[in-house]
Amino acid sequence: MDRPTITFLTLLLGLTTGVWPIEIAVGPGVAAVELRLDGRTVATLTQAPWKASIDLGPEPEPHELLAIGRDAAGAEIARARQMVNMPRPPAEASLVLLPGSGGRGRRARLTWQNTLRMPPERIAVTFDGQPVPLEPTKEIALPEYVPEQVHFLRVELDFPDNLVASTELIFGGRDRDEARAELTGIPALFAGTSRTAADLDGAFLAGGNPVRVSAVEEGPGEIVVVRDEEARAPLGGLKSGSLVNRIFERDLRPDQKIRFCWPVTLPEGEASESYDVFLRSGDLVGKSGGLQRLLTVPNAPAFANRPRFADAIAVAARSAAGRNRARAVLFLYGGSPDSSRLAPEVVRRYQAKLRVPLYVWAVDAPSARKAARWGKVSPVRNYPEFLAAAGTLLDEVAAQRIVWVEGVHLPQSITVSPGASGIRVAE
């Protein structure tokens, strides 16, 4: 007998707002489908066509759309989940810890897929931050480890056309050796000494209820840059002016990366209803002339479309959240007009709900005044100001830790318990 299934035929990709028609494919034995948006029932379907209109609100924010299939008696027999306005990469990867026990002779298996149907150009595997090889069978022989401690297995894959995917496996510690499924990673900052998962019992809430912390990860960070081309020359032309300034030249911290989300769309993007039409660069790393050079040397795509900074910042924030790393979005502004559909205030609320900090730099006083709608603006009119702004950005990203809590949760639902001190969620 076939297993009852339900499947979303309508996939909400890109940044999505307003009322959308949702269609469901229903398998044998399913008598009704309940649609829940963020835990609230918004439609109940009992017959074909299995369709309903769902209102996602006037501005983008993360949503969970859940379809629950029930039999004739009302019992749940199938479900499908779709995360809306959350990272939905065109390339995905997953890790499975193969059966076994203890910390010796264990193996994991890697799988991947991407829209290009092409193999990755680079695969980097690390176990607790140290490189380990991937075998031709796509299996990974894990080094010996202590089962009572938490361990991180991470894989990053680079595909053609700047498609990337990453996946991680967290296992061991807290009286369990097997990998834990359905975890949500949240960037947090801690005052004072570092914290372990055991230290954080009761420190975080999901939807107002205590949630168990499985692990705390210190790992690489990334900064996604949205650059106004009018800011490129002024920022690149800043001179250190003194030996002291040159000594304090800012470079990326170890393992940090930056990449660009260009605020220009593909030619057909002007008529598109999707916001997610912005070109992206590959990863850039330090040791190539400092942060100033990394921010100014890359060339923007040669499209004549008017820049859409706010829209690009929203896409950059969603992209930054997709790798479950320490992260931030940096907006370099030079005063150009913004042709975005989204307002700065809307984007600020969205990136804060995604838990992606936003930093805005302005290269002169007029640009700083124009950027006031974004909130705090850091001037970078001279080299000392650049050093101060760069130091704050790099240090705060480096200070983030990814707290892994059990269950699948919307990022905005994770908060710090009122009784916890010295902890804040990055946003």
> Is there a contact between 165 and 93 (Cβ–Cβ < 8 Å)?
yes
> Could you give the CA distance from residue 302 to residue 241 in angstroms, rounded to a whole number?
33
- 235-279 pLDDT, tens digit per residue, is 999 887 654 455 445 677 777 888 888 888 755 444 333 334 445
> Could you give the CA distance from residue 171 to residue 168 in angstroms, rounded to a whole number?
10
**pLDDT class of 161 with cuts at 50, 70, 90:** low
Of 63, 40, 27, 140, the residue nearest 94 (C-alpha): 140
**Assigned token pair, 37:** 């948006």
Phi, psi of 47 (to 5 degrees): -160, 165
pLDDT at position 373 over 70: yes
| Residue matched to tokens 């989940």 | 81
Quick one: pLDDT at residue 170?
79
Share of the chain above pLDDT 90, in %: 48
Mean pLDDT value of segment 281-308: 73
Mean pLDDT value of segment 202-206: 93
Mean pLDDT value of segment 25-48: 92
- Domains delineated in the chain: 6-84 (2.60.40.10), 86-180 (2.60.40), 221-401 (3.40.50.410)
> Could you give the CA distance from residue 317 to residue 389 in angstroms, rounded to a whole number?
20
**Helices assigned H by DSSP within 263-343:** 290-296, 309-321
- 309-350 pLDDT, tens digit per residue, is 999 999 899 988 987 889 999 999 999 999 999 999 999 999
Q: Does the CA dihedral 242-245-247-250 come out positive or negative?
A: negative
> Is there a contact between 124 and 133 (Cβ–Cβ < 8 Å)?
no
> Is there a contact between 95 and 167 (Cβ–Cβ < 8 Å)?
yes
> Is there a contact between 380 and 307 (Cβ–Cβ < 8 Å)?
no
Q: 109 or 355: whose pLDDT is higher?
A: 355
pTM: 0.79
- 132-160 pLDDT, tens digit per residue, is 999 999 999 999 998 888 888 889 888 87
Mean pLDDT value of segment 16-32: 89
Q: Which residues pair with 23 in a beta bridge?
A: 51
| Residue matched to tokens 């209803």 | 273
